[in-house]
């Protein structure tokens, strides 16, 4: 445990390398099944392995991707040639990470709000994951915007758990990704989204500080400030401006990286938002990058569709998406390249 700070520093520097982001490929069994269903892909150990193997092996992926978040099953799977899947990432200079939360349950007494489980026994699980190559972790909390929600109870309970998780990770030499996601479902406007995001991030950082989490050795993975999916959409520029305003108010400059989730935005819109932020402000105290799941995988999965002869085409699609997002990290995304 004594080398934990050194390990944390080395990992954080690699993860936040200029122009690189994170691929979130940590869908739970239920979620990956949901992603496979539209393409009639059977959801088995082998198809999940084949899919992740496809995602992890495009040549040069490591030019744009610094880390990949894995689901527990994937961390212990081997490729068709018998190589552990995390090793395939390491061969590309990509750091394997692991989703360590155990998902959402109802927050009793709080209507239909959720709390994230997984703290009991976390330290022991981290040792097991570390031995398999994981150097960073992810924990996702969700908040929904509706009448009076998120409640104070949901904000405080989830913020407390996020900080507990982060502190435990750091004590084991694992860099925590702290993910408070404000869901986009609803008809709330941009200002409401900004207000709620600010409230949640303030609570999260209060807890992180109270629980002695080293802000220098964590990554924040927030949602962008966008209007609800049933509300009038905002312009790319307005989303970038509101998101930057909220982050500047809430996220200490000591935090090295803010890596956004895509949360149901389309691939090109998620890229355009990230690009606009990096263009509007090129001197943010933190690296502004991506940790996208759907917004990196969507077209690649559609192209693959569970068919081995589609692997090369699906990998080309993923590589292009990763490159466009890498450009967006530098404020150099050109939307005409989407064609």
Residue 123: phi and psi, rounded to 5, are: -60, -45
Q: Which stretch binds ligand 13P (CB under 6 A): 80-88, 277-285, 291-299, 320-328?
A: 291-299
**What is the dihedral angle through the alpha carbons of 218, 221, 224, 228, rounded to the nearest 10 degrees?**
-140
For position 263 contacting ligand 13P by CB under 6 A, the verdict is yes
Which CB sits closer to ligand 13P, 261 or 318? 261
Q: Is the peptide bond before 55 cis (omega within 30 degrees of 0)?
A: no
Query: Nearest Cα to 221, choosing from 125, 293, 313?
Result: 293
Candidate list 179, 241, 267, 323, residue with the active-site label: 179
Does the footprint of ligand 13P cover residue 261 (CB under 6 A)? yes
To the query of whether residue 73 is one of the catalytic residues in this protein, the response is no
Among candidates 95, 218, 114, 96, which has minimal Cα distance to 166? 218
Residue closer to ligand 13P by CB (options 58, 222) is 222
Compute the distance between CA of residue 256 and CA of residue 258 in angstroms, rounded to an integer: 7
Look at the alpha carbons of 142, 130, 22, 76 in this order and tell me if their dihedral is positive or negative.
Answer: negative
Stretch that binds ligand 13P, among 4-12, 190-198, 255-263, 306-314 (CB under 6 A): 255-263
> Least Å distance between CB 214 and ligand 13P?
22
Judged by CB under 6 A, the residue of 52, 293, 301, 328 near ligand 13P is 293
Q: How many CA atoms lie within 13 A of 234 on its CB side?
A: 23
CB of 264 to ligand 13P, least distance (A): 7
Nearest CB to ligand 13P, comparing residues 141 and 287:
141
> CA–CA separation, 92 vs 131, rounded Å?
19
Residue closer to ligand 13P (CB basis): 125 or 221: 221
Residue 227 binds to ligand 13P (criterion: CB under 6 A): no
- Count of residues that bind ligand 13P according to CB under 6 A: 10
Nearest to 118 by CA among 95, 92, 145, 139: 139
Question: Does 222 sit near ligand 13P (CB under 6 A)?
Answer: no
> Strand, coil or helix: what is 83?
coil
Catalytic residue among 20, 99, 138, 221: 221
The reply to whether 221 belongs to the active site is: yes
* By CB under 6 A, residue 298 contacts ligand 13P: no
Q: Count other C-beta atoms under 10 Å from residue 19's C-beta.
A: 17
Using CB under 6 A, which of 36, 56, 292, 304 touches ligand 13P? 292
Q: Can you give the binding site for ligand 13P, defined by CB under 6 A?
A: 24, 140, 179, 261-263, 292-295
Catalytic center residues: 179, 221
């Amino acid at each position: 445990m004594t080398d934990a700070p050194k390990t944390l520093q080395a990992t954080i520097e690699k993860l936040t390398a200029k122009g690189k982001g994170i691929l979130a490929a940590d869908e739970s069994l239920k979620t990956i099944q949901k992603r496979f269903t539209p393409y009639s892909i059977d959801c088995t150990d082998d198809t999940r392995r084949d899919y992740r193997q496809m995602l992890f092996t495009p040549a040069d992926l490591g030019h744009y991707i610094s880390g990949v978040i894995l689901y527990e099953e994937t961390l212990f799977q081997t490729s068709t040639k018998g190589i552990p899947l995390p090793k395939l990432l390491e061969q590309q200079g990509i750091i394997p990470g692991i989703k360590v939360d155990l998902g959402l349950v109802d927050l009793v007494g709080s209507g239909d709000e959720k709390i994230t489980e997984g703290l009991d026994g976390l330290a022991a699980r981290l040792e097991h994951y570390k031995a398999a190559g994981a150097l960073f972790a992810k924990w996702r909390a969700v908040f929904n915007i509706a009448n009076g929600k998120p409640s104070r109870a949901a904000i405080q309970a989830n913020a407390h758990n996020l900080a507990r998780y982060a502190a435990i990770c750091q004590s084991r030499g694992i860099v925590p990704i702290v993910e408070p996601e404000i869901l986009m479902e609803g008809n709330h406007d941009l200002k409401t989204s900004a207000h709620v995001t600010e409230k949640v991030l303030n609570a999260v950082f209060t807890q992180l500080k109270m629980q002695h989490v080293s802000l220098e050795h964590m990554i924040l993975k927030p949602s962008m400030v966008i209007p609800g999916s049933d509300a009038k959409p905002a312009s790319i520029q307005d989303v970038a401006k509101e998101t930057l305003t909220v982050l500047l108010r809430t996220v200490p400059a000591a935090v090295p990286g803010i890596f956004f989730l895509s949360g149901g935005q389309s691939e090109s819109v998620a890229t355009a938002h990230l690009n606009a932020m990096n263009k509007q402000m090129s001197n943010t105290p933190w690296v502004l990058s991506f940790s996208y799941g759907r917004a990196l995988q969507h077209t690649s999965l559609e192209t693959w569709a569970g068919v081995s002869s589609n692997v090369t085409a699906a990998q080309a699609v993923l590589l292009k998406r990763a490159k466009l997002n890498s450009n967006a990290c530098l404020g150099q995304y050109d939307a005409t390249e989407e064609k």
